[in-house]
Chain A
Amino acid sequence: MNIIIESLQQFMQYTGIANITLPHFIMICIGVAFITVAIKKDWEPLLLVPIGFGIIIGNIPFPSGLQIGIYEEGSVLNILYQGVKQGWYPPLIFLGIGAMTDFTSLISQPRLLMIGAAAQLGIFGAYIAAMHMGFTPAEAGAIGIIGGADGPTAIFLSSKLAPELLGAIAVSAYSYMALVPVIQRPIMLLMTTKKERLIRMKAPREVKQREKIIFPIVGFILTALIVPSGIPLLGMLFFGNLLKESGVTKRLAETARGPLIDVVTILIGVTVGCSTQADVFLTATSLKIFLLGLFSFIVATVGGVGFAKIMNLFYKEGNKINPLIGNAGVSAVPDAARVSQNVGREFDKNNHLLMHAMAPNVAGVIGSAVAAGILLSFLG
Chain B
Amino acid sequence: MNILSILENDPHGIIITVVSVSVVFAALIILYFAYTLTGKLVNWKTGKPAKKRSRRKSADNRIHDNESYIITIKREYTPASHNASSHGTAYDKGPDAQTGGAQGGNITAPLPGTMTAVLVKPGDRIREGQTVAILEAMKMENEIQAEVGGTVKEVNVSKGDSVLEGTIIVTLR
Contact = CB atoms under 8 A, between A and B. Distances in A.
Interface of A: 106-108, 110-111, 113-114, 116-117, 120-121, 124, 127-128, 130-132, 137, 140, 200-203, 205-208, 210-211, 214-215, 218-219, 222-223, 226-227, 318, 334, 337-338, 341, 345, 349-352, 354-355, 358, 363, 366-367, 370-371, 374-375, 377-379
Nearest to B26: A226
Interface in B110-139: 110-112, 129, 137-139
Interface in B1-42: 3, 6-7, 10-14, 16-17, 19-21, 23-32, 34-36, 38-39, 42
Contact of A378 (B20, B84, B90): B20
A263 B29 CA distance: 35
A113 B31 contact: yes
Interface string B35-64: 110110011001000001001101100100
B42 A210 contact: yes
B55 A206 contact: yes
B156 interface: no
6 contacts: A113-B31, A113-B32, A201-B87, A337-B138, A378-B20, A379-B16
B99 interface: yes
B37 to A, nearest CB: 9
Contacts of B84: 200
Contact of B34 (A117, A218, A334): A218
Contacts of A227: 23, 27
A218 to B, nearest CB: 5
Nearest to A198: B83
A289 B46 CA distance: 53
B32 A203 contact: no
Contacts of B12: 128, 131-132
Contacts of A116: 28
A318 B142 contact: no
Nearest to A353: B98
A137 B42 CA distance: 44
A132 B140 CA distance: 41
A161 to B, nearest CB: 13
Given A131-B12, A137-B13, A370-B24, A206 B31 contact: no
Given A203-B166, A206-B59, A214-B42, A137 B32 contact: no
Contacts of A207: 39
B165 interface: yes
Given A128-B12, A338-B140, A374-B23, A110 B101 contact: no
A256 B138 CA distance: 19
Candidate in B19, B25, B94 with the most chain A CB atoms within 10 angstroms: B25
B14 A128 contact: yes
Contact of B31 (A200, A203, A223): A223
B125 to A, nearest CB: 20
A354 B86 contact: no
Given A114-B32, A208-B46, A211-B42, 14 more contacts: A110-B36, A113-B35, A127-B16, A140-B13, A200-B83, A201-B87, A202-B87, A206-B55, A211-B38, A218-B34, A222-B30, A226-B26, A352-B110, A374-B24
Contact of A363 (B28, B46, B88, B166): B28
Contacts of B100: 350-352
Contacts of B94: 203
Interface string B94-112: 1111111100000000111
A107 B35 contact: yes
Interface pairs A-B: 9 shortest CB-CB: A206-B59, A203-B97, A352-B110, A110-B35, A131-B13, A124-B17, A117-B28, A374-B20, A200-B98
Contacts of A351: 98, 100
Contacts of B55: 205-206
Nearest to B21: A124
A241 to B, nearest CB: 13
Contacts of A117: 24-25, 27-29
Contacts of B19: 374, 378
A248 to B, nearest CB: 19
A367 B14 contact: no
A349 B83 CA distance: 13
B38 A124 contact: no
A341 B140 contact: yes
A341 B139 CA distance: 12
